[in-house]
Each structure stands twice: as structure tokens, then as C-alpha cells.
């Protein structure tokens, strides 16, 4: 009943006439009419109106990205996109939990199951593990989010695609500085410089962020840079350089809470279940340090009116050092990898693409083909997290291996447009190779666990759009996808055995979707999609003990649901937007998993019909806004709803549903060459107690990561054009 009420409220808000630029449209306007957004993600390399694609794709534009937000977490703008769950864990030692139509929900480290891109440079490694810490919202022009069958055109782990694009510099040179501060010691500073000079165009941005953290032991600092420089070498050739850097030293990890701990004090760091004289987790000072440097080059060349080439290449390095709160006694076994994880990763890749725009008779025909190859080389080391009686320091080496994963893909896509029908088909063949060279061998206790494996898959997709009228499109799409295990998921074998778990197989999915895209009245838009996905050999947690998560394949899972986005305006002052999602994600076949340790053999039955953990059945976002352009004033009330979330495969507990309200107010003044903006924001207006996210299948039942109560944020920025 509560979920139905929330969805009805959001639909009502969307039905009330309003007039803000919706989340799926750009800020550009033609007179008083908002232009349709143009996207490139559904058909790589080919720009087209999102309205005419046979796929669920939404755009969050630059105005929305900057609209009275902290501009630090990707969860801020993604909350507006139907089908996407982006949970802010209030824990900067762990990445955001992002899932699309349920894909990626099981991840407790990084982002997996979906593909991530920044200016066309993959932020997802060839094994499917992704990171978003280097994504800079302050310099972004837009975010494109692709869901459904057409995601499979991106190869491994493509349950969905999130693409962030850095804005081009404008005709003026603009120097901008901004700052925001708020509850729990939140402080963000940024400075940017953008512009155009002759054939050169650039946008450079630096950001510093820090927080004391909502919870005990959750302070964090982050410094970052993102830059894009384009050279229009000739009328037909453009060269773009992109680079970014991020540094996050000693970010504190508050870990999760048991239900009892959360109910007693959501700000604490749990010591539940620890029996004296064993130390509490905080005594190990759990924390993580990350540094990443990445560079890429994009070459666009138009050969003639028909043919064009695009070459993208990139390279980067990421180092991670994570101290875990693993008890000293648990590290005594010869097979233990210790309590400190140290990773050094070097990666590189190339994507070469040919695009032909021609005609077949009287109709347009566009053909795209490409070759894609990337490689990740990783040195993974494990250390004890103690030296004698001193905890939380790097001790003896317990693991050392050199890992390598490579992918090589070939893909092609064709699109045929007639007056009433658009047909789009694509095919991608992917091959992913894993290898590991064990460098830590102890005779009699720790054997040589070197090994390798190879996966391959061919993923087709087909979509059709019927153009009923200029204001109504109906579409359908179907496709296949696959998802290999990541190196983190093969890192541990079951039963505390040594070596990598190369017995894991890829998961394979079949996705179907039908939908409508309509503009029933000027400045009104409705997008709706029904979808279903079936996955075989689903990869799930088998055991989670002492910081070691081992995984297994199980029979089949099913995801089906409805997405709805509505936006509209009346006059020039009031606006509304709403995004609603219903997602039923369950296991279709029963399987066995581990109970409390030790677990030599899985013995706990997970029955068919259990909900897949980490996925709410309902979610919604809605807002009603008022803008007074002469004053540069905008104010809005927002609603965010997330349904209850299963915390484990047994469905023994759930994070409760939460419906939270927020208020924002922004001002803008333009004086000569200056543009000054101020804003104030209040989240969780009713100061409700809520769970921000869950740690799926956490072995100590510390599943819950609390959301803060009422918080406030104030910001100001000034830009000078010259």
C-alpha cells in the first residue's frame, strides 16, 4: 500500500503542468520549445535523437547536473533516471552501488555488471570491474544512460551503459570557481578554465572534496582533475586529448551495521559479535587509499560524405591499498591472504571504428563496424594487518600474484530508416582471457596456484521503431548479453582453498523490451518501457568469511518490470518531472549456499522465487519546481523513494523502504561578464531514519549502511568570461 501511494504521488506530480528542462532533455531550447536530446550511446559513433532510438536511453543535461547539488557523487543525478539504482553508501572507502535493471546489484566493491565510459574512454576493465571515482560532475556536459537489449553491443558486463561527456569550451574564455559546504564537515572547492582559441578548444577542471563523515570513522578526502583539449586540425580531422587524475588518501571505512546496531545508533561503527579480548574492527583502522592517472586520445576523421573513421586509445594506472578489519586469528591459516589488499593496475586499450552513411534506394542506411582490444595487468598482494601487538599496520606478505586479463572484440551495427520504420541490428563477438602467475609459494602449505582460462560469446541485438506520428514512436528490441566473473570474484576459491576460482563461468542473459515515446502536447514527454531479462549461470556469493568472498554459478534468474518517465510544463514558471520503476528480480531455480562458517559444503537452500538481494522492487523520483527568470530564482521540492531491499539470498532480512523529501533553492545573477550562482539545499526534510544501502550477503550480518538524517548544503560559484 505504501509503495502504491508513493508511485501514485509521483505520477500525480508529473501530471501537474510544469516547465523545467526534464532530465532526459538538454538545456538547449528553440524559442520556448525544448529540443529533443541527441545521444550516441545506443548506436556507438552515430548521433541521433533519443526519441527515435529503439532503446531506453535518458540524458541528464548540464543544467540539471549543476542544479543545487554537491557535484561529487554520481548518485546525485542518476536518482532521476528510471531503472537505475545509485545508492550513496556514506562510505567513500567503497564505491557507489550502481545497478541498472538489477544488473550490478550484488557488487560490494566497485561497479560491475554495467559498462562505464568517460568521454568514450572505458572506466570498466576487460574483466567487467568498473570505477567511478574519477568522474567529474562539475566539468560534465551530460550523462547518457542506456538500458535494455542494446547495452549488449558493448560486450562483457553490459547490463546497462553509463556514459559521461565533458563539456566543450564555449566561444568565450571562462574562468570559474565555486565552493559548497554543509553538514558533517562537507566541503567542496572547484576551479575550472574553458574556452576556444583558433583551432583549440578546452575545458579543464580541478576539484577538492572532504568530509568528516556522517558516521564514526568515515572521514574522507578526494582531489581530482579532469581535462579535455580538442584540436580542429582540418575541416575533416579532429584530435581530442582527455586526461584525469584522482587521489584519495587514507579514506576511513566505517563498515556496515547489524540491524540492532542501526536501530540503536546509526552513526556508530559496529563492535557487535566481537568477544573480548578480540579487538573491535575500529582498532584495525580500516581504510583505503586510491590514486589513478589516465590519459586518452580520440581521432575523428571524415574521409568523404559517406565514410568516416574514429580511433580511440587510452592508458592508465590505478593503485589501491585497503586495510580490512580481519581478526588476527583468522589470518593464521596458511591459505589466508592476510588483512591488507594492495593492487597495482596498469591498463590500456584501443577502439577503431568505421562509419558509413549512405542510402539504400530512397532511405538512409548507416553502417558501423569496429575492432576493440584492451588489457589489464595487475599485481595483487596480501599482507597481514598487524605487526606483533600493533594493529592496522602492514605486516608480513601473505599473497603475491601477477594477473592479466585481455579482451578482443569485433562488432558491427546497421541502421535503416524509412518514413515510418527504423530498423537497427547489431552483432558483437567478444573473447576474454584471464591468466595468473603465482609469486607466493610455500612448500607444503601454499602451492603454485598459477592458471588461466578463456571465455567467449557472440551477442546479437535487433530493434525496430514504428513512427506512428511526429509525436509518437512505438519500439521493440531483443538481444543477448554475457558477464564474465571479475578478478575480484575469482580471487578466492571455496572452502578456504588456495588459488583463483577459475571454475566460475560467465552468466548469459536474454533481454526483451517494448516501449513508447510520446510528446502528447508541446513541452510534454512520456517514455514508458516494459522489459524482461532472463539470466542463466547467474554469478552469486557462495560464502563470505573473514574478508574472503567466494562465488558460484546458479541456474537461472529473472528480471521483469516497468519504467515510466513523465515531464511537462505550463507557462514559463512551473515544471514537474517524475521517474517511476517497478522491478521484480528473483531467482528462477533453487540452489545451495553457505551458512555460518565453517562451510565445507553449501547446505542452505535458496528456494526459487527468492528476491535477488540489493534490488528494490519499487523506486521513484519526482519534483515540482518553480522558476522566476527575471530574478534568476528557482526553487523545488523533490521526492525520492526506494522500496525495501533484501540483504541476502535467503531473504532473512530487508532494509526498510524509505520515502524522503528534499528542498532546493538557487539564484543566478549576470552582471557584465560575471555570472554568480548561489544555492541552498536541505535533504531528508522530515529527518527520517533510513538505510542508504546494503552490503549484500555480508558474512557478519553487518548488512546496513545508514543514510544521514536531515542535512543542509550551501554553495556559491562565480564565473568570468573574457
Q: Of residues 350 and 105, which shows the higher confidence score? A: 350
Q: In which band, very low, low, confident or very high, does the pLDDT at 356 lie, cut at 50, 70 and 90? A: very high
Query: What are the tens digits of pLDDT across the range 286-328?
Result: 999 999 999 999 999 999 999 999 999 999 999 999 999 999 9
Query: What are the tens digits of pLDDT across the range 52-76?
Result: 999 999 999 999 998 899 999 999 9
User: In whole angstroms, what is the distance from residue 675 CA to residue 717 CA?
Assistant: 8
User: What pLDDT is attached to residue 496?
Assistant: 67
Q: Is the pLDDT of residue 250 over 90?
A: yes
Phi-psi region of 502 (alpha: psi -120 to 50; beta: other; left: phi over 0): alpha
Mean pLDDT of 467-491: 94
User: What pLDDT is attached to residue 262?
Assistant: 95
Q: In which band, very low, low, confident or very high, does the pLDDT at 89 lie, cut at 50, 70 and 90? A: confident
CATH architecture of residue range(s) 2-721: Beta Barrel (2.40)
User: What pLDDT is attached to residue 547?
Assistant: 64
φ/ψ (deg, to 5) at 62: -65, -40
Residue 41 makes CB contacts below 8 A (sequence gap 6+) with: 57, 144, 145, 146, 161, 163
Q: In which band, very low, low, confident or very high, does the pLDDT at 20 lie, cut at 50, 70 and 90? A: very low
User: What pLDDT is attached to residue 351?
Assistant: 97
Mean pLDDT of 621-642: 94
Q: How high does pLDDT run on average in the chain?
A: 91
Q: Is the pLDDT of residue 574 over 90?
A: yes
Mean pLDDT of 377-392: 95
Torsion of CA 238, 116, 320, 403, to 10 degrees: -90
Mean pLDDT of 376-401: 95
Q: Is the pLDDT of residue 32 over 60?
A: no
User: What pLDDT is attached to residue 43?
Assistant: 85
User: In whole angstroms, what is the distance from residue 413 CA to residue 156 CA?
Assistant: 17
User: In whole angstroms, what is the distance from residue 716 CA to residue 311 CA?
Assistant: 39
**Nearest by Cα to 465 from 521, 527, 516, 414:** 516
User: What pLDDT is attached to residue 5?
Assistant: 41
User: What pLDDT is attached to residue 610?
Assistant: 97
- Contact between residue 699 and residue 546 where contact means Cβ atoms under 8 Å apart: yes
C-alpha cell read off for 211: 568530509
Among the residue ranges 133-147, 268-282, 451-465, 633-647, the one predicted with the least confidence is 268-282
User: What pLDDT is attached to residue 33?
Assistant: 58
Domain ranges of the chain: 2-721
Mean pLDDT of 449-465: 94
* Spacing of C-alpha 202 from chain mean position: 26
Q: Is the pLDDT of residue 106 over 80?
A: no
Tell me the sheet residues that pair with 428. 411, 459
Query: What are the tens digits of pLDDT across the range 321-339?
Result: 999 999 998 888 887 889 9
User: What pLDDT is attached to residue 334?
Assistant: 80
Q: Of residues 201 and 501, which shows the higher confidence score? A: 201
**Other CB atoms within 10 A of residue 198 CB:** 7
User: What pLDDT is attached to residue 447?
Assistant: 86
User: What pLDDT is attached to residue 333?
Assistant: 81
Mean pLDDT of 107-126: 89
User: What pLDDT is attached to residue 4?
Assistant: 41
- Contact between residue 677 and residue 62 where contact means Cβ atoms under 8 Å apart: no
C-alpha cell read off for 156: 562483457
Which of 101-105, 463-467, 697-701 is the most confident on average?
463-467
In the chain, what's the furthest Cα-to-Cα distance? 81
Question: H/E/C letters for each residue in 689-712?
Answer: CEEEEECCCCCCCCCEEEECCCEE
Q: Is the pLDDT of residue 433 over 60?
A: yes
Mean pLDDT of 193-199: 97
Mean pLDDT of 146-173: 93
- Contact between residue 650 and residue 606 where contact means Cβ atoms under 8 Å apart: yes
Residue 276 makes CB contacts below 8 A (sequence gap 6+) with: none
User: What pLDDT is attached to residue 651?
Assistant: 96
User: What pLDDT is attached to residue 3?
Assistant: 47
Among the residue ranges 38-42, 581-585, 677-681, the one predicted with the least confidence is 38-42
Q: Is the pLDDT of residue 710 over 60?
A: yes
Mean pLDDT of 483-506: 84
Q: Is the pLDDT of residue 12 over 70?
A: no
Mean pLDDT of 551-579: 93
Amino acid at each position: 500500500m505504501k509503495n502504491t501511494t508513493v508511485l501514485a504521488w509521483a505520477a500525480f506530480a508529473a501530471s501537474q503542468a510544469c516547465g523545467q528542462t526534464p532530465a532526459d532533455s538538454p538545456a538547449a531550447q528553440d524559442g520556448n520549445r525544448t529540443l529533443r536530446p541527441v545521444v550516441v550511446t545506443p548506436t556507438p559513433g552515430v548521433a541521433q535523437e533519443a526519441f527515435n532510438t529503439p532503446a531506453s536511453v535518458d540524458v541528464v543535461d548540464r543544467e540539471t547536473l549543476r542544479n543545487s547539488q554537491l557535484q561529487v557523487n554520481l548518485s546525485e543525478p542518476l536518482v532521476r533516471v528510471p531503472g537505475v539504482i545509485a545508492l550513496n553508501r556514506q562510505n567513500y572507502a567503497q564505491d557507489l552501488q550502481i545497478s541498472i535493471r538489477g544488473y550490478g546489484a550484488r557488487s560490494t566493491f566497485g561497479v560491475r555488471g554495467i559498462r562505464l565510459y568517460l568521454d568514450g574512454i572505458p572506466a570498466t576493465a576487460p574483466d567487467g570491474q568498473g570505477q567511478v571515482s574519477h568522474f567529474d560532475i562539475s566539468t560534465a556536459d551530460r550523462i547518457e544512460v542506456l538500458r535494455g537489449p542494446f547495452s549488449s553491443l558493448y560486450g562483457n558486463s553490459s547490463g546497462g551503459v553509463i556514459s559521461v561527456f565533458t563539456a566543450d569550451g564555449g566561444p568565450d574564455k571562462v574562468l570559474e570557481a565555486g565552493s559548497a559546504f554543509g553538514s558533517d564537515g562537507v566541503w567542496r572547492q572547484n576551479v575550472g578554465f574553458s574556452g576556444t582559441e583558433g583551432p583549440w578548444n578546452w575545458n579543464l577542471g580541478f576539484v577538492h572534496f572532504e568530509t568528516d563523515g556522517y558516521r564514526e570513522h568515515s572521514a574522507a578526502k578526494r582531489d581530482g582533475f579532469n581535462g579535455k583539449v580538442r584540436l580542429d586540425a582540418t575541416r575533416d580531422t579532429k584530435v581530442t586529448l582527455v586526461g584525469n587524475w584522482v587521489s584519495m588518501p587514507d579514506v576511513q571505512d566505517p563498515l556496515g551495521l547489524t540491524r540492532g546496531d542501526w536501530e540503536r545508533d546509526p552513526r556508530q561503527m559496529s563492535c557487535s559479535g566481537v568477544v573480548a579480548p578480540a579487538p573491535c574492527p575500529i582498532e584495525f583502522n580500516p581504510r583505503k587509499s586510491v590514486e589513478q592517472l589516465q590519459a586518452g586520445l580520440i581521432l575523428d576523421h571524415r574521409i568523404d560524405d559517406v565514410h568516416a573513421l574514429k580511433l580511440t586509445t587510452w592508458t592508465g594506472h590505478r593503485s589501491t591499498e585497503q586495510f580490512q578489519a580481519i581478526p588476527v586469528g583468522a589470518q593464521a591459516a596458511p591459505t589466508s591472504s592476510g588483512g591488507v589488499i594492495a593492487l597495482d593496475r596498469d591498463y590500456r586499450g584501443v577502439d577503431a571504428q568505421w562509419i558509413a552513411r549512405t542510402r539504400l534506394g530512397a532511405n538512409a542506411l548507416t553502417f558501423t563496424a569496429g575492432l576493440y582490444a584492451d588489457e589489464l595487468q595487475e599485481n595483487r598482494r596480501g599482507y597481514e594487518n598487524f605487526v606483533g601487538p600493533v594493529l592496522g599496520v602492514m605486516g608480513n606478505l601473505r599473497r603475491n600474484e601477477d594477473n592479466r586479463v585481455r579482451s578482443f572484440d569485433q562488432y558491427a551495427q546497421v541502421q535503416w530508416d524509412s518514413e515510418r520504420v527504423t530498423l537497427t541490428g547489431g552483432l558483437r563477438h567478444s573473447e576474454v582471457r584471464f591468466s595468473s602467475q603465482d609469486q607466493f609459494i610455500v612448500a607444503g602449505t601454499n602451492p603454485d596456484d598459477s592458471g588461466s582460462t578463456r571465455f567467449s560469446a557472440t551477442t546479437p541485438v535487433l530493434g525496430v521503431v514504428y513512427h506512428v506520428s511526429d509525436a509518437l514512436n512505438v519500439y521493440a528490441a531483443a538481444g543477448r548479453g554475457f558477464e564474465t566473473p571479475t578478478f575480484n570474484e575469482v580471487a578466492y576459491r571455496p572452502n578456504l582453498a588456495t588459488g583463483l576460482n577459475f571454475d566460475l563461468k560467465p552468466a548469459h542473459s536474454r533481454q526483451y523490451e517494448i516501449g513508447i515515446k510520446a510528446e502528447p502536447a508541446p513541452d510534454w514527454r512520456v517514455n514508458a518501457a516494459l522489459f524482461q531479462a532472463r539470466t542463466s549461470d547467474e554469478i552469486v556469493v557462495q560464502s563470505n568469511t573473514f574478508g574472503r568472498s567466494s562465488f558460484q554459478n546458479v541456474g537461472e534468474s529473472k528480471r521483469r518490470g516497468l519504467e515510466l518517465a513523465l515531464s511537462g510544463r505550463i507557462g514559463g514558471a512551473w515544471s514537474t518531472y517524475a521517474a517511476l520503476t517497478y522491478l521484480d528480480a528473483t531467482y528462477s531455480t533453487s540452489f545451495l549456499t553457505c551458512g555460518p562458517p565453517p562451510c565445507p559444503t553449501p547446505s542452505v537452500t535458496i528456494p526459487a522465487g527468492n528476491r535477488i538481494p540489493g534490488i528494490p522492487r519499487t523506486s521513484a523520483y519526482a519534483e515540482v519546481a518553480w522558476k522566476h527568470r527575471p530574478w534568476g530564482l528557482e526553487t523545488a521540492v523533490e521526492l525520492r523513494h526506494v522500496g525495501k531491499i533484501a540483504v541476502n539470498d535467503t531473504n532473512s532480512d530487508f532494509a526498510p523502504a524509505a520515502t524522503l523529501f528534499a528542498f532546493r533553492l538557487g539564484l543566478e545573477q549576470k552582471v557584465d561578464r560575471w555570472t554568480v550562482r548561489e544555492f541552498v539545499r536541505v535533504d531528508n526534510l522530515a529527518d527520517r531514519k533510513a538505510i542508504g544501502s546494503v552490503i549484500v550477503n555480508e558474512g557478519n550480518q553487518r548488512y546496513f549502511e545508514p543514510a544521514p538524517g536531515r542535512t543542509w548544503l550551501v554553495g556559491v560559484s562565480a564565473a568570468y568570461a573574457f
